[in-house]
Structure formats: C-alpha cells, structure tokens
C-alpha cells in the first residue's frame, strides 16, 4: 500500500512510511521535476531509486538504515545531503556536495552520540572529510572556515578517527595467571576457615586539627 506523500511545489516529502527502498511510483510521478526530496524516518538501506530524480538539489535521508555500502547515482545538481542518524562509518558521498551532515553516524564522532569522543576527535573528522570533499561550505552544524580548509589540504589525509582495537592482556611468564583479589589481611588469614588473630604494634599518629577533644587527652591515658 502506498504511503503518504506531501507535495509543495518542487519539494517532495515521503516521511515515516517504513519503506526499505524508494517506491518506483514516486520517481515516475515526481522525479522529473523534484528539487528537494525528504525520505526521513524510513527503513532505507539503498538509494538506487534516486536515478529517477535528475533535477534533485537537496536530499534528506535522516533516520534510516543506510550503511557503508551506500551508493548514490549521478546527481549533477545535488548540493545538499543530510545523512544524520544512519549507520555510516565512512564518507561515501558525491564530490559535488557543498552541504553535508553526518551527525549520528559512526563516521562522525559527535559527543552527543559518542560520549567517549571529544572535540579534538570531532575536529580531526572535519579535517578528514574536508580533505575528501574540499568544496564543502557547510559540514554538520558548522560553516567551514578558511583555516579548516587549509589544515584539511595539508594534514587532512592523516586525520581519520579510528577506534583502537582492544587486545587481550598478555600475562608474563612466572606470574600468577589467577591472582587472589586484593585484601589487606596477611596471606595466612585469607582462608575463610582459618580464623587467627594477629597482634602487632602499630604506631598511629593522629593530627586532629578539627577535633576539640584532643586537647583534654593526657599522655598517660594513651
């Protein structure tokens, strides 16, 4: 069954219909004149149907299931693309873009969705994307600055943010591979069935700067 379509001049919206691919009838009916297409909140995993939208300038596909196998057909007029909240870990987009947003994807280490990342990680990501797409004027929520463009040209190739792999810790020869949990008790007292008292002298110095009672304790009472 066809989902709901909103038409406003050259702007087409097909939002929240849980489709896994772009319905063919939308391309046939509106593709020849549509300049803005919003496909947010669906279940899209591919965008092959866009080949029927040669005049497209803006594409919004937020909150879908697009991944690293994303392929865009040739869209010579496309200048704005938002791919927020998909499953993309690497930029695979058309080089003609001027406006790009990848918030909510693994590729974009934004602190709102990646608490383990910081502003430095996000800035490296910007340099890397700008190295790949030097014509970008706007990335995510920020305008591209001249300084960023210069840094991207000089160092952007080496700025990809990579999450390190966690290797299993190695054990050194001769060390106990199953160490006992830490305890302040002597080794002989760690056994729960062996309850032995331990008496020794302990020199304890108390600096009672905030205790008014100390001034009334005599040495022969200690």
Average of pLDDT values for 77-93?
81
How would residue 168 be classed by pLDDT, with cut points 50, 70 and 90? very low
- The answer to whether the Cα torsion of 180, 182, 183, 184 is positive or negative is positive
Higher pLDDT, 100 or 179: 100
CA 156 from chain centre, in angstroms, equals 19
DSSP 154: H
Average pLDDT of the chain? 76
State pTM to two decimals.
0.62
User: Going from the N-terminus, what domains does the chain have, and what CATH number goes with each?
Assistant: 6-158 (3.80.10.10)
Question: Which secondary-structure segment (H or E) carries 11?
Answer: strand 11-13
CB of 97 closer than 8 Å to CB of 82: no
The answer on pLDDT for 85 being more than 60 is yes
- Which of the residue ranges 138-142, 159-163, 204-208 has the most confident prediction, judged by mean pLDDT? 138-142
- In this prediction, residue 64 carries a pLDDT of 96
The answer on pLDDT for 99 being more than 60 is yes
- Closest CA relative to residue 19, chosen from 64, 60, 79: 64
- Closest CA relative to residue 52, chosen from 71, 66, 33: 33
- Region of poorest pLDDT, from 11-15, 108-112, 117-121, 139-143: 108-112
The answer on pLDDT for 6 being more than 90 is yes
110-138, pLDDT tens digit by residue?
766 667 778 889 999 999 999 988 999 99
- Region of poorest pLDDT, from 2-11, 157-166, 187-196: 187-196
59-74, pLDDT tens digit by residue?
999 999 998 888 888 8
Q: Which runs of consecutive H residues, i.e. helices, occur in the chain?
A: 24-30, 119-132, 146-155
């Amino acid at each position: 069954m066809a989902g709901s379509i909103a038409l406003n001049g050259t702007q087409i919206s097909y939002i929240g219909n849980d489709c896994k691919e772009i319905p063919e009838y939308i391309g046939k009916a509106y593709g020849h004149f549509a300049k803005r297409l919003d496909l947010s909140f669906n279940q899209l995993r591919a965008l092959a149907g866009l080949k029927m939208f040669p005049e497209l300038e803006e594409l919004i596909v937020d909150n879908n299931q697009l991944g690293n196998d994303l392929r865009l057909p040739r869209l010579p007029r496309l200048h704005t693309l938002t791919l927020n909240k998909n499953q993309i870990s690497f930029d695979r987009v058309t080089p003609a873009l001027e406006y790009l947003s990848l918030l909510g994807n693994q590729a974009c280490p934004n602190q709102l969705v990646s608490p383990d990342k910081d502003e430095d990680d996000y800035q490296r990501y910007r340099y890397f994307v700008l190295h790949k797409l030097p014509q970008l004027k706007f990335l995510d929520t920020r305008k591209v600055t001249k300084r960023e463009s210069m840094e991207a040209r000089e160092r952007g190739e080496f700025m990809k943010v990579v999450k390190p792999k966690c290797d299993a810790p190695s054990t050194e020869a001769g060390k106990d591979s199953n160490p006992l949990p830490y305890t302040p008790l002597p080794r002989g007292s760690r056994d729960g069935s062996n309850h032995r008292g331990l008496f020794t002298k302990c020199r304890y110095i108390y600096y009672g700067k905030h205790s008014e009672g100390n001034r009334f304790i005599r040495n022969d009472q200690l």
